[in-house]
A and B are shown apart, each in its own frame.
Chain A
């Protein structure tokens, strides 16, 4: 039998606010345990939540970016369950009235574009962390993360393969980072996902019973976990078994999913509107204000880069992965006045390679847009050759000098003085009469030998075009 996989993803993106969603405690990662958990985060008696404006703004930005309906009236609800990392015994979330309604995201898999529906996105608070290292057989609870704002983005069950799921997750990851609403750090758990996976015989309209795989925190694991789960389900059904609706945990070490019975038992979350919080009203003015400040969206930017700069597909897609990188490119282009292609090649080539090697982001680049522009200007106006430019770039990376300073200091300026070049050429021709003979008898290849000799004699600083032109004239006699 042929099987079809059906996947829906629930992605949790931590919003990049300074303070928590309902308290004034810091959200920074990596602090000493419980030093960023204030009275509200700890659920002490009598304390009350007050909503962070920035979290609301970020949710609306996201909603606009996926062309979703922004709810004019959304409601926070309490989701009740007991767990030691959930201090109040309920999580403040949104149930019936999420802030972001139906939207969509387009993905590309093997060159084919596909639209994935987003059912909703809602605001909620993150839980703390349970540390299972041995405290005399006890578990330690760190509530620093409790109350960190999360945007839970729920997709429609529109994906049909692990590959599509990964493409969707990557696209979402790229988008939230691009919008500046999430740092996307998957290792720190800022961006994680649960996958709802089911299989059905190809052609069948109804969905099969789904299993939910919890807390997957890398693209690689999403693919592996889904593929593994699909295999497990098919094998189960083909052997006469039945998939049960349950929560499963992906174990990346063993590369398998296993049932999480502890989370399963008697889940009745008893959602009801949180009486400590009032309805969130998003009016037209608030939306207009956000819309005005909304950055150009990745899709639109890609299109513009293609037409405005006549760049190839690959360069465009690299340059538009993040807003800072795209901004860097545009700034270099503007400041240098050089051809877009030259700018793109340097940024996606030498600069990216150097950043990668050093493990730096574009925002931390030792070579500022201004300094790179200075270098490219000198390539464009023939002050230096492409080869020398690489040397200058190295120096730019190491120092704080400008390209012009480096060129001057190291004497790297290209020699365009025809007199000087002529003298050298004359000397080389005189010293290599045998090769001159060969060239004149039709051996064109020898020409490269002369170019090499001249460049060597001039330490690479001669203008190659000038050298070529003059050599040709002289050799032809």
Chain B
């Protein structure tokens, strides 16, 4: 059952080939069997089976939707009512949210069956899933490699078929990069397309939730459920949600693809570059025109991002103070001790590094030089995208400079780790949507192709990805041992 696509599973449930309870049990067994991947932080077996039963009722009485009865999993950054939500941190190891995130609520209403909560970098800060309090997640394609991050658990679970599909969040590449490194499809929607309510904030002006699945078609089905205005999120955009599946089969004839020369220069592994070239050639065959473009300010995306994101995070994470919920240090001698030790003991090293960085960037005397400067550069980068997207329909490029690196390889050098986000970060600064699709392998490890579109052009991106997936089968490969 686990090899089937979401559409096939939905059909199987309708034709009574299997029930949601049976399907759910199959996935729960697989999770149990492949525990060593460490993809899940929490498995909600009892609730899942209970909800599967409810889904079977809906399937029987004809009130089911496409996702009803489909086993999915949530990144552990989304708050789930009465189920532990840790955000990958010791700080929230004892935290059970008194509410559902809007995204969780929407999947519940659609009748999707939540199998559990997925591992992630602590507070979504990391590119390898190694900063999780619950330990590193292993890449199903090579268990000595990282799955990417911060949605590493989501990518590994989908790649290893430990869930049909999963949610992720993307602040600087956290959906696209692990999707690329694990050989799945991941979409970061336009900022404001998916509600952030109940999604624990890392950097509020950059964070965006999105779907992670095997194919673009599955991602479209998920996004259909996730997207939409939410009155509880001031930054959510009140625009109608199009039918994301309707245009999947549109022709790509005449599609104008831009390749920024800044994306294909130094730093990009030559085997990865060659793989991408083949993929882009495939688009040529589908009728697209390819054009080289230039986005001169892209090179400043990393410094701007590593000012803005830490600055926002330094304030966002102040609420974790050991007073109302979460970790509290033992026997605080006074208030200062309560704060410093609860936060000192509750947060891991990368989180602390970013809080320190952000605190510094906002402090008196440095605000203009760092924070304000970064915001101005953000404007220039966003204008680069706007300009480029008047010349071409979409922009394509790499997601990562290399395939998945080894566990432990970059942990001692944070800057090197930051630099691995070079192709994804600018997209978050601009707020445009982008997705990563499997585009081939280098030495047995997946390579992702990134497709970036204009604001709210998710339907077009999914169409472009889907057409590629009609003529290639990279997205259908399954890692050895997980078939």
Contacts and interface: CB of A to CB of B under 8 A. Distances in A.
A44 B234 contact: no
B321 A46 contact: no
Interface in A4-56: 39, 42-51
B359 A141 contact: no
Interface string B221-254: 0000000000111110000000000000000000
A51 to B, nearest CB: 7
B160 to A, nearest CB: 28
Given A49-B234, A272-B367, A44 B325 contact: yes
B143 to A, nearest CB: 31
Nearest to B123: A45
Nearest to B205: A275
A39 B319 contact: no
Contacts of A89: 315, 318-319, 321
B235 A82 contact: no
B55 to A, nearest CB: 26
B95 interface: yes
A276 B234 contact: yes
Contacts of B235: 48, 275-276, 278
A268 B360 CA distance: 11
A49 B312 CA distance: 15
B312 A275 contact: yes
B97 interface: yes
A45 B92 contact: yes
Nearest to B192: A278
A45 B315 contact: no
B221 to A, nearest CB: 25
Contacts of B78: 46
B9 interface: no
A354 B288 CA distance: 87
Contact of B196 (A48, A90, A278): A48
B315 A90 contact: yes
A42 B324 contact: yes
A98 interface: no
Interface string A66-96: 0000000000001010101001111000000
Interface string B364-401: 10010001000000000000000000000000000000
A139 to B, nearest CB: 8
B359 to A, nearest CB: 7
Contacts of B312: 275
A82 B315 CA distance: 10
Contacts of B424: none
Given A39-B98, A78-B315, A278-B235, A46 B324 contact: no
A443 B381 CA distance: 105
B197 interface: yes
A272 B315 contact: yes
A46 B200 contact: yes
A268 B200 contact: no
B67 interface: no
Interface in B170-225: 196-201, 203-205
A44 B97 contact: yes
B405 interface: no
B101 interface: yes
Given A272-B371, A275-B312, A48 B232 contact: yes
A277 interface: yes
B335 interface: yes
Contacts of B321: 82, 84, 89
Interface in A249-294: 268, 270-272, 275-278
A78 B318 CA distance: 11
A292 B10 CA distance: 58
A45 B80 CA distance: 11
A105 to B, nearest CB: 32
B441 interface: no
B455 interface: no
B265 to A, nearest CB: 32
B204 A276 contact: yes
B264 interface: no
A268 B359 CA distance: 10
Interface string B48-80: 000000000000000000000000000000110
B318 A90 contact: yes
A80 B371 CA distance: 15
A88 B315 CA distance: 8
B204 A275 contact: yes
B99 interface: yes
Interface string B307-350: 00001101100111101110000000001000100000000000
Contacts of A276: 201, 204, 234-235
A50 B323 CA distance: 24
B422 interface: no
Interface of B: 78-79, 85, 87, 92, 95, 97-99, 101, 196-201, 203-205, 231-235, 311-312, 314-315, 318-321, 323-325, 335, 339, 359, 362-364, 367, 371
- 6 nearest A-B pairs in the assembled complex, by CB-CB distance: A89-B318, A275-B204, A270-B362, A275-B205, A43-B319, A46-B198
Interface of A: 39, 42-51, 78, 80, 82, 84, 87-90, 141, 268, 270-272, 275-278
Given A88-B315, A272-B311, A275-B203, 8 more contacts: A43-B324, A44-B324, A51-B234, A80-B314, A80-B318, A270-B359, A272-B315, A272-B371
12 contacts: A42-B324, A45-B87, A45-B325, A46-B196, A48-B235, A80-B314, A82-B321, A88-B319, A89-B318, A268-B363, A270-B314, A275-B235
